[in-house]
Amino acid sequence: MRVEAKTLEEAYQKAADILKCSVADLKAEVIQYPTKGFLGLFSKPAIIEVEEVLDINKVIEKVKKELDSLFDKLCFDVKVIEVSKYNEDTIFVHIDGEDAALLIGKEGFRYNALNYMLYNYIHQKYGFKLRLEIAEFIKNQKEKLEEYLDFFIKEKIEKRGYGRTKPLNGILAFLALEILREKLPEKYVNIKERNGEKYIVVGEKHGNNSSTGNT
């Protein structure tokens, strides 16, 4: 969205009024700086390009309708149980039903594929991330993963101060990142990829951890 005004300050305020948000929340790029011209002639207004700020609650309503329509057309006996706010930039989607296990697949391969497609759709269209739960797949995976990570912390981090997890595929890598950052707030924790495999590295913290991944 392009906004014009006599000054940059007025352009920013005008954009904030249109989008009903604060100036501090705007994501804007200056396209043209204002000039006064000569004797009132050839003056130019300020022009900014503003990225629209979407209300996550309104997006949730749209995503629910779109997913309901999608799963109504499938031959699987599943339905969207819940679409809600997971955090400020992530939408939670819970799918369940008689055929939920078919959407998960062996070792979660179908889950990973569906998660990838829905994540990209929601992120590209609305700018939000996705946390997808099918039946209790994520809940169960997280419980098993926490057992392994507790052992990993005890055997490697507590003894050496640093370490690297075993390769973790798909959603497991992002779950492990989330768990380890919560358990080890004083450490550097991030996802690394090597030869197509993802794992989590933990070391001494030099600056802030940055968010990585799609969940």
Max distance between CA atoms of the chain, in angstroms, equals 76
pLDDT tens-digit readout, 158-176:
999 999 999 998 889 999 9
Which pLDDT does position 77 carry in this prediction?
94
* C-alpha–C-alpha distance, residues 213 and 189, integer Å: 13
Phi first, then psi: give them for residue 27, nearest 5 degrees: -115, 100
pLDDT tier at 212, thresholds 50, 70, 90: very low
pTM score of the predicted model: 0.71
pLDDT tier at 211, thresholds 50, 70, 90: very low
Residue, of 86 and 20, whose pLDDT is higher: 86
What are the tokens at 159?
A: 């003894």
What are the tokens at 113?
A: 């594929």
Residue 148, pLDDT above cutoff 50: yes
pLDDT tier at 90, thresholds 50, 70, 90: very high
Contact 176, 166 (CB under 8 A): no
> Which structural domains are found in the chain, ordered by start?
2-51 (no CATH), 56-135 (3.30.300.20), 139-204 (3.30.1370.180)
> 3-class SS at 200?
strand
Hey, how many other C-beta atoms are within 10 angstroms of the C-beta on 173? 23
